[in-house]
Structure 1
Amino acid sequence: MKQSSLRALRARLISALAVSILLSACASFPDDAPIAGLRLIGEQRIALKQAFQGTTVGGLSGIDYDAASNTWVMESDDRSEINPARFYRATLSYDSAAFSAVTFNSVHFFTQPDGSRYPNLAHAKLDRGEQVADIETIRVDPQDGSLWYGSEGNRKVGLHPFVRHADRDGRYLSTLPTPAMFHVSMEDIGSRNNMSFEALSFSSDGKSLWLGMEAALYQDGPLATPDNGSVVRITRLDRAGTVLGQYAYPIEPVASRPAPGREADNGVSEILAVNDHRVLVLERAGVADADGLYTNHVRLYEMETDGATDIRDIPALAGATYVPARKRLLLDLGKAGLARVDNIEGISWGPRLANGRRSLVMISDDNFNPQQVTQILAFEVL
C-alpha cells in the first residue's frame, strides 16, 4: 500500500476512534441499571477572581467533559464586562478515593458570525445585529469535539436567547433554530429576562439535543414561590432545529422563605441526558436573608418523559390539560456532607472510574461575588 494511502487510512482510524471515545463518554445507562444515587468523592474550589492568561476566572455556569483530550470545558457567564465571553479548558484530577486538583490549561474566546468577539452591552451595535452573550451552558459535540452553547439573551433590550455551534476554539459555526415561543417580547409572553436558555445536553446517542428553560414562560404560569411550584419546558431538537418533542417539567416550591422584602426563586440550572427518555435536572433555589445574602438549595432529579404529554403545540400551559413529566429525587446537596452549597449551575458526565462506574461533576457560578465560592464537586454514580 502506498504511503499516502497508509496515512489516509491511519487518519480515518484515528478519527473513528476519537468519535467512539466521545460517544462512549455520553453513552446511556442500560434500562436495567437505573441510577440509585450519587456518592460525593470530593470538592475543589477556585480562588475568587483568579487570574489566568490575562483573564479573570469566575461566573463558571457550565461544564462538560471532552473525552478525546481528557480535559474539561468551563464557560463563564461574564457578559463581556470583565473580559470578552469565553471558556476555559482544564484538567480535573480525581479518582474514586479523592478529588485532588484543578489545573487550568487555556482560555478561548467565543466569536460572533463576523469573527469578532462578543461585546458588552455598552459597546454592542444592536442595530447591526450584534449580540450580548449571557452564556449559561456549554456542551462538547460527541461527533467531532466542537462546542454548542446557550445564551439567555436580554429581554430589556430585545435580544432573544440563542443556541450556537462553535469549533473547538470557540469560533462561530452556526446558530441552531429554536421555537419562536422562546423569543422575548415587550408583552407578557415568551421568555422572562435572565430566565431562559439555562440548560443544554446532547442525547445519549449524540444525534439530538435537549434544551431546558430556567423558568416558566409568561404564558405558562407564575414563577415558583415558597407556597407553590412552577413548570418549565424541556425540548428535544435535532441538529437542524426541528422539534422532536417537548415536555412540561414540574418545579418544586422554593425550599425556604426569604426575609421580608427580600427575594427567593427556584428554577432549572442544567440538564443532562441519561438515555432516550430520562434526563437529569438540576433545580437550584436562591433565598435571600435580611442582609441580602443567599442560601442555595440544590437538588438533582431524574425526569422521565415516557407517558408525558408532548406539549410543543400547546401555546400556553396555564389552564391547559396535559400530563407533566414524572420526576424522582436523586440527591439533595444540602445532605451531601458539604461545608456549604453554592450556586450550582453546571453538571457533566465524567470518565469512568477504575471500578467501572460513571463519574459526574458539578460546578458553581460565584457571580464574581466575594460572598460566594466557585466549587467543583466530583461524584461516583451508584
Structure 2
Amino acid sequence: MKHRRLLTVTALAGAALLAVPQAAHAHGHGTGLPRLSLVDTISIPAGTTQLGTPFGGLSGIDYDARTGAFTAISDDRSALAPARWYTVRLPLDRTGFSAKAPQVTDVTTVLDTDGAPFANGTVDPESVRLAGRDRLLWTSEGAASTGLAPMIREASADGSFRRDYRLPAAYLPATGRGVRNNLAFESLTLSADGRSIVVATEAALAQDGPIASLTAGTGARVLVLDRSSGRTRAEYVYRTDPITAAPTDPANPYADRGLTELLALNDTDFLAVERSFAGGVGFTIQVFWTTTRGATNAAGRDALTGRERVMPKRLLLDLNATGTQVDNVEGITWGPRLPNGDRSLVLVADDNFNSFTQFHLLRFRDR
C-alpha cells in the first residue's frame, strides 16, 4: 500500500512539558502491560503546501528529547518534490493540542550516495529514527515490482548519505522471493541501548507465506542488525491479525493489513502499529505490545518453516474505538512528558496526498 514520507517536528515545550526518556519498560504479562489512551488529534487536509512542497505522505516520526524536536519522513518518491523530511512544531498545552495545525519550520532534502536528490521513482522513504547527534537512520521500501531493493541507510542531519546497511539475501526482491512490492521496511526502531537496528517488513516475504486475508494474518519478518558492524543479530516473526473487514465498495474492492511501525520499549519489548484497510470501510489502526521473549530466532533462514514461535503480542489500543477520525497511521514515537508526569506518544498518519495528515497525542502509562 502507498502510505509514506520524511519529516522533522519540533514540540512547543511549555514549562510543564518535560523530556521523555528514549525507552520505557513494559512487562509482558497481566496488569504489567502498559496502558495507552488518546489525548488529542490534529488533522491537516491534503493539498496543504509548506515551504514550497506538498505537505503530506508522512510515514515515520521520531522525537529528540534534547531539542524538543520530532523528525518525520515523507514517502513522496521524489514525484511531487524531492524526497524530504520536515521540521515542525506541535502546539502543545496542558490539555493537548492548543491549535489546529502544526508550525512547519524547515524542510530537508534527502540525498543519494552521489550527493544529489533522488530521482523520481528511485526511493520510497518509510521510517526514520534519530541515531545520535547529526545522525539519523531511515528506510526505503524500494520497488520490488521493478527489482529495486529496499534500503536501510544512515544520513547526516543535512540529508547527506553516510552509509548503507547490507541486507540478508532473503529480503532481496526476485521472482517468488524477497520483499513484496510496497510491503517492505515500514518499521524501524533502535534498541534501548542504541546498539541494534530493528526493522520489519509490512508483510511476509514471498517465500515465507501469504499476505493477510480476512481469515489469517501475515508473518512479517523482524530483522535485528548490529548498528556498528551491520551484521545480523537475530530474526523473528511477527504475525499480524487478519484484515478487519471486507470491502464494501465495488469500485474499490482492495483490502489489506500489515505491520507499519515498531517502537522499542526495552531490549526485548516493542509497541507495534498494525494498519488494516478495506475499500468502503476505511482504516483500522491498532497498537499492540509485543516481545521477542519466547519467539524463535530464525536468523539466516532463507525461508521460514512455518513452525517458528512468533512474537507474543497483546492489544493495547484500538484507535477506532476512541471516536476520533482515523486515517492511515504509519509512524509512532515518544513525545514530551505530559503535565501530570505521564509519558506521551505521538502517532502520525500518512495522507497519501489525498486525505488527511494527522498527529495523534497518546498518554502512555507503564503500570
Do they fold alike, i.e. is TM over 0.5? yes
Tell me the equivalent position of 2:282.
Answer: 295
Please tell me whether the aligned partners of residues 25 and 351 of structure 1 are also in contact (alpha carbons under 8 angstroms): no
Tell me the equivalent position of 1:248.
Answer: 237
Please tell me whether the aligned partners of residues 26 and 265 of structure 2 are also in contact (alpha carbons under 8 angstroms): no
Q: By how many angstroms is 1:136 displaced? A: 0.7
Please tell me whether the aligned partners of residues 182 and 191 of structure 1 are also in contact (alpha carbons under 8 angstroms): yes
Distance of 2:37 and 2:91 partners within structure 1? 17
Q: By how many angstroms is 1:133 displaced? A: 1.0
Distance of 1:313 and 1:166 partners within structure 2? 27
Distance of 2:285 and 2:269 partners within structure 1? 19
1:136 pairs, out of 121, 126, 140, with: 126
Are residue 364 (structure 1) and residue 353 (structure 2) matched? Answer: no
* Structure 2 gap segments, 5+ residues each: 1-18
Tell me, what secondary structure is at the counterpart of 2:119? Answer: coil
Tell me the equivalent position of 2:362.
Answer: 379
2:330 pairs, out of 328, 345, 361, with: 345
Distance of 1:41 and 1:219 partners within structure 2? 41
Distance of 1:87 and 1:115 partners within structure 2? 16
Distance of 1:159 and 1:277 partners within structure 2? 31
Q: By how many angstroms is 1:109 displaced? A: 0.2
* Structure 1 gap segments, 5+ residues each: 1-22, 122-131
Paired residues in the alignment total 340
Matches within 5 A, 1:238-317: 238-239=226-227, 240-259=229-248, 262-289=253-280, 295-317=282-304
1:332 pairs, out of 315, 318, 339, with: 318
Distance of 1:24 and 1:344 partners within structure 2? 22
Q: By how many angstroms is 1:30 displaced? A: 6.4
Please tell me whether the aligned partners of residues 20 and 337 of structure 2 are also in contact (alpha carbons under 8 angstroms): no
Tell me the equivalent position of 2:87.
Answer: 89
What amino acid is the match of 1:256?
A
Q: By how many angstroms is 1:355 displaced? A: 2.5
Tell me, what secondary structure is at the counterpart of 1:160? Answer: coil
Tell me, what secondary structure is at the counterpart of 1:219? Answer: coil
Distance of 2:24 and 2:40 partners within structure 1? 24
What amino acid is the match of 1:380?
R
Please tell me whether the aligned partners of residues 20 and 343 of structure 2 are also in contact (alpha carbons under 8 angstroms): no
Distance of 1:224 and 1:380 partners within structure 2? 30
Q: By how many angstroms is 1:323 displaced? A: 0.9
Tell me the equivalent position of 1:7.
Answer: none
Tell me the equivalent position of 1:221.
Answer: 209
- Structure number with greater CO (CA < 8 Å, separation at least 6) is 2
What amino acid is the match of 1:82?
L
User: RMSD across aligned C-alpha pairs, in angstroms?
Assistant: 1.8
Distance of 2:165 and 2:213 partners within structure 1? 33
Question: 1:150-170 CA distances to partner (integer Å, 9 max, x unpaired)?
Answer: 000011221100011111121
Distance of 1:155 and 1:229 partners within structure 2? 21
What amino acid is the match of 1:174?
R
The structure where helix makes up a greater share of residues is: 1
Distance of 1:94 and 1:52 partners within structure 2? 20
Q: By how many angstroms is 1:315 displaced? A: 2.1
Question: 1:74-118 CA distances to partner (integer Å, 9 max, x unpaired)?
Answer: 211000010000000111122452212411110000001110000
Identity %, equivalent residues = 38
Are residue 197 (structure 1) and residue 185 (structure 2) matched? Answer: yes
Please tell me whether the aligned partners of residues 170 and 303 of structure 2 are also in contact (alpha carbons under 8 angstroms): no
Tell me the equivalent position of 2:103.
Answer: 103
